[in-house]
Amino acid sequence: MTVRKLTMAGERPRLPEWFRTRLPSGQLLDSFNETKNTVTDHMLHTVCQEARCPNIHECWAEKDATFMIAGQECTRGCRFCAVGTIKTPPPLDVDEPEHLAQAVDQMGLRHAVITVVNRDDLDDSGASHYKACLQKVRSQCPDVTLELLCSDLNGDLEALASLLDNLSLEVFAHNVECVPRLDKTVRDARASFSTSISILKEAKRLRPDIITKSSIMVGLGETDDEITEAMKLLREADVDLITIGQYLAPSSKHHPVVRFPEPNQFEKWGKEAIELGFLGQACGPLVRSSYRAGHLFRDAAARLTNATE
């Protein structure tokens, strides 16, 4: 197991030297600046900015962006997440579908990722609101490919069926987050690997035309073998795309970083993913679940098209 070890228990580690990002140049730089100026001029809000994503230059240059809907606080309290926790969130914003569609339109996106907070306070866990937002974006921006990074809907398969029924969507994503052994340590007590797998498996059963996707964080205390086993379980659920990235603690109050696997280990996981049958993968220290999401989708769609010809 290739890993950078931490020297002192409880010490907040410095980032390894490989945590560097490249700025775009040429046409990609022009595309990034165009997107950035649009966001500034229209006072738009994206997860890319608010989460200070290290990949914002790459994604915006490719006209990808991520938005979070259904509120700014979550009803869950996972130990890895920077999003605030609240037991009873404010009511849903009825104007959010319109505002979201306007933002996607104004940014001129090719691929939009719509991520959500958990809404365990709602009867359908927010499914109808998520659907309304996606439908409005599709209506206003028919050429944009859409990816929903969904909650586990509290394991409600009926809510999932209602959400996906007649919904125009390219990618359904839901993150298992960590290996099964670490569920109780890392995730909220209402979340589990088995529930996440059931949502992903049912999504593919209901809509085999939609590409499914999931993500795993490393550095939480898992072993390399456990990552391999988690990937196998995702493939057994017919998940098409996978991303694996380094966990970074948002603060000293969150779950600590246990290790920093080196870049060559991420390359090994990427090769394993393809060998296991995933249509595509993004594995690297700086990879996040929405990293180059449009590119990953388009490559997978092309593979599927070639396979059927």
Q: What is the rounded average pLDDT of the residues 115-137?
A: 96
**Residue 131 banded pLDDT, cuts 50, 70, 90:** very high
Residue 102 has a pLDDT of 93
* Percent over 90 (pLDDT), the chain: 71
Q: What is the rounded average pLDDT of the residues 106-131?
A: 95
Does position 194 have pLDDT exceeding 60, yes or no?
A: yes
**Residue 8 banded pLDDT, cuts 50, 70, 90:** very low
Mean pLDDT, all residues of the chain: 89
Find the largest Cα–Cα distance for the chain. Answer: 56
First to last CA, the chain: 41
- Sorted by where each starts, the structural domains of the chain and their CATH numbers stand as 22-308 (3.20.20.70)
Does position 10 have pLDDT exceeding 60, yes or no?
A: no
Does position 13 have pLDDT exceeding 80, yes or no?
A: no
238-274 pLDDT, tens per residue? Answer: 999 999 999 998 888 999 999 999 999 999 999 999 9
What is the C-alpha to C-alpha distance for residues 88 and 85, in angstroms, rounded to an integer?
9
Phi, psi angles (nearest 5°) of residue 27: -65, -35
| Predicted structure pTM score | 0.90
Helical ranges in 111-239 per DSSP H: 127-140, 157-164, 183-186, 193-206, 224-236
Residue 60 has a pLDDT of 76
